[in-house]
């Protein structure tokens, strides 16, 4: 696949930027990667991969001769015309997206009619229009602008980049949109070529819809608990309907991560700022907030007061196959448990380093069996394969109590019960 292709710049080397950069290098482009994090750029230059993402290390290694890392945006401007922007857009206190990193990139780019920004960062609908107004005010009218939202999933980001369900390119004419389409052409993915505002909205609406699906099945799970139905059976029956589909119908302890919570909130705020009250998203967020706390109620029902009780949390990352702890359900769960006086031992195969930066007052275990030693209850928080494959006889032997809460409905209840343990899932009989 490595035919020489047009060089590109990628601004921001996080989960999206690094995968995008390595992916386009794999397709044959020289890629200039720019980040303001000096330590990160040094690590990347040494060939170290600062994040955990399956397949990324190999991809970076294989394409190292085509990848250049720098803190100076001038390096990208010199070699490339298209500058993919993949900086963070975290939530502000108001729930709106914080666009300060995006604005910093715009400030750093001089007037030019050779260059274009390609927005990969998730930004509110209307950002492209306001940034092109800023270009005009700053005498940078010659800069092109393309919205090219990113849909990769952490944990399978490399695969997703190389096999996207679709590529969305929003522009208002000019060379840059065509150049982006050409860059993606080897992937043979369905293309949605549209205007900038619609491209921006595709991203926000997609994440909001997926989050809605999760909150919906979580509410069904909660009703199942009251009525005797089993949500796993219900979801299977629903998911076989083509119009519904099985994906994102797994009930559990709520969604987290760097995207869903902030993007749903940002769309809700965007609607509100435009004069529309997006009631459905308000409910989706409320349901998710409550869902993260429901495990506490289950623990209390079985154990009574949690003060002094030892709880083992298995998995901490917001989902398996990533070290990303942003908005992870484990953060809410551990804070609530500590507030109730419980003692926590936690294990995660890769996210411990990130978790230590965010959580204090808990013991980090070096293996799942260490974590469950002497535990009154075990909670499966993240469905890492290693945790699904646990020997429950050994777990039972190590625990003091017998309660296993399956926060992801991912365990085999029979295997857990066969070990003499009490199994409780989310909305499961
Ligand atoms: N992570 C995902 O799964 C995912 C998926 C789709 C879209 N997105 C969106 O992509 C964007 C990036 O997300 P991420 O998870 O990769 O973020 P990240 O926090 O992992 O990475 C952002 C990087 O940008 C760098 N940066 C910040 N300001 C900069 C500047 N002025 N110049 C150069 N570099 C700068 C940071 O140092 C960091 O390395 C966000 O808008 C996010 O919503 C993320």
Over residues 115-154, the pLDDT tens digits come to 999 999 999 999 999 999 999 999 999 999 999 999 999 9
C-alpha to C-alpha distances, 102 to 82, 97, 127, nearest whole angstrom: 15, 11, 10
Provide CB contacts within 8 A for 109, sequence distance 6+: 73, 77, 83, 115, 117, 140, 143
Containing 365, the helix (H) or strand (E) segment is none
Provide CB contacts within 8 A for 126, sequence distance 6+: 197, 200, 270
Provide CB contacts within 8 A for 231, sequence distance 6+: 217, 220, 221, 224, 251, 409, 426, 427, 428
Residue of 33, 125, 148, 259 marked catalytic: 259
Q: What would the mean pLDDT of 183-206 be, rounded to a whole number?
A: 98
Burial of 229 (0-12, 13-18, 19+ CB in 10 A): middle
Token pair in block for residue 280: 């459905």
Provide CB contacts within 8 A for 46, sequence distance 6+: none
- Provide the pLDDT for residue 429: 87
Instruction: Convert the pLDDT of each residue in 62-104 to its tens digit.
Output: 999 999 999 999 999 999 999 999 999 999 999 889 999 999 9
User: Does 259 qualify as catalytic in the annotation?
Assistant: yes
Instruction: Convert the pLDDT of each residue in 403-413 to its tens digit.
Output: 999 999 999 99
Closest CA to 235 of 255, 253, 220: 220
Token pair in block for residue 176: 């840059």
Give me ligand 1 centre to Cα 87, in Å: 4
- Provide the pLDDT for residue 1: 46
- Which residues face 31 on adjacent strands? 8, 67
Task: Tell me what the pLDDT averaged over the chain comes to.
Answer: 96
Ligand 1: atom nearest CA of 108 is 31
Q: How many residues make up the chain in this entry?
A: 429
Give me ligand 1 centre to Cα 99, in Å: 11
Q: What would the mean pLDDT of 327-340 be, rounded to a whole number?
A: 96
Rounded distance between C-alpha atoms, residue 240 and residue 82, angstroms: 43
Q: What would the mean pLDDT of 372-397 be, rounded to a whole number?
A: 98
Pocket test for ligand 1, best of 100, 102, 151, 258 (most atoms within 8 A of CB): 258
Residues 270/207, Cβ–Cβ less than 8 Å:
no
- Provide the pLDDT for residue 389: 97
Is 14 close to ligand 1, i.e. is its CB under 6 Å away? yes
Is 86 close to ligand 1, i.e. is its CB under 6 Å away? yes
Give me ligand 1 centre to Cα 301, in Å: 41
Is 306 close to ligand 1, i.e. is its CB under 6 Å away? no
pLDDT band of 414, cuts 50, 70, 90? very high
Q: What would the mean pLDDT of 334-351 be, rounded to a whole number?
A: 97
Give me ligand 1 centre to Cα 320, in Å: 20
Q: What would the mean pLDDT of 12-29 be, rounded to a whole number?
A: 98
C-alpha to C-alpha distances, 339 to 272, 293, 296, 347, 406, nearest whole angstrom: 34, 12, 11, 20, 21
- Which residues face 377 on adjacent strands? 311, 403
Rounded distance between C-alpha atoms, residue 429 and residue 427, angstroms: 7
- Provide the pLDDT for residue 233: 98
- Provide the pLDDT for residue 60: 98
Token pair in block for residue 235: 């979801």
Q: What would the mean pLDDT of 22-40 be, rounded to a whole number?
A: 98
Instruction: Convert the pLDDT of each residue in 227-274 to its tens digit.
Output: 999 999 999 999 999 999 999 999 999 999 989 999 999 999 999 999
Examine the pLDDT at 34 and tell me if it is beyond 90: yes
Nearest-5° Cα angle at 155, 24 to 101? 60
Examine the pLDDT at 366 and tell me if it is beyond 90: yes
- Provide the pLDDT for residue 95: 85
């Amino acid at each position: 696949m490595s035919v020489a292709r047009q060089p590109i710049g990628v601004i921001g080397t996080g989960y999206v930027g690094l995968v995008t950069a390595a992916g386009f290098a794999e397709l044959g482009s020289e890629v200039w990667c720019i980040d303001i994090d000096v330590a990160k750029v040094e690590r990347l230059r040494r060939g170290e991969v600062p994040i955990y993402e399956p397949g990324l290390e190999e991809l970076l290694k294989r394409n190292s001769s085509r990848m250049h890392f720098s803190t100076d945006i001038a390096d990208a401007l010199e070699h490339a015309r298209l500058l993919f922007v993949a900086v963070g857009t975290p939530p502000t206190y108001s729930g709106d997206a914080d666009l300060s990193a995006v604005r910093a990139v715009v400030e750093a780019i001089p007037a030019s009619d050779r260059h274009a920004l390609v927005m990969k960062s998730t930004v509110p609908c209307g950002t492209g229009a306001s940034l092109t107004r800023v270009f005009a005010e700053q005498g940078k009218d010659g800069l092109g602008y393309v919205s090219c939202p990113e849909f990769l999933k952490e944990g399978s980001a490399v695969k997703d980049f190389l096999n996207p369900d679709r590529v969305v390119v929003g522009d208002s004419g000019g060379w840059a949109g065509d150049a982006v389409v050409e860059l993606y052409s080897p992937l043979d993915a369905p293309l949605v070529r549209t205007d900038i505002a619609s491209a921006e909205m595709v991203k926000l609406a997609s994440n909001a819809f997926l989050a809605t699906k999760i909150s919906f099945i979580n509410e069904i799970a909660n009703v199942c608990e009251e009525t005797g139905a089993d949500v796993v059976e219900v979801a299977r029956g629903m998911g076989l309907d083509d119009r519904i589909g099985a994906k994102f119908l797994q009930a559990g302890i709520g969604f987290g991560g760097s995207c869903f919570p902030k993007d749903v909130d940002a769309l809700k705020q965007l609607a509100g700022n435009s004069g529309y009250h997006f009631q459905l998203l308000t409910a989706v967020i409320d349901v998710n907030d409550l869902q993260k706390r429901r495990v506490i109620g289950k623990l209390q029902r079985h154990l009574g007061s949690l003060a002094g009780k030892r709880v083992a949390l298995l998995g901490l990352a917001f989902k398996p196959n990533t070290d990303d702890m942003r908005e992870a359900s484990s953060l809410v769960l551990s804070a609530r448990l500590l507030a109730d006086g419980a003692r926590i031992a936690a294990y995660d195969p890769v996210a411990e380093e990130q978790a230590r930066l965010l959580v204090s007052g808990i013991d980090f275990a070096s293996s799942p069996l260490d974590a469950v030693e002497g535990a009154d209850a075990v909670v499966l928080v993240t469905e890492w394969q290693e945790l699904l494959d646990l020997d429950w006889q050994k777990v039972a032997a190590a625990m003091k109590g017998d309660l296993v809460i399956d926060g992801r409905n991912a365990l085999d209840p029979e295997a857990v019960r066969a070990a003499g343990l009490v199994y409780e899932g989310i909305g499961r009989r």
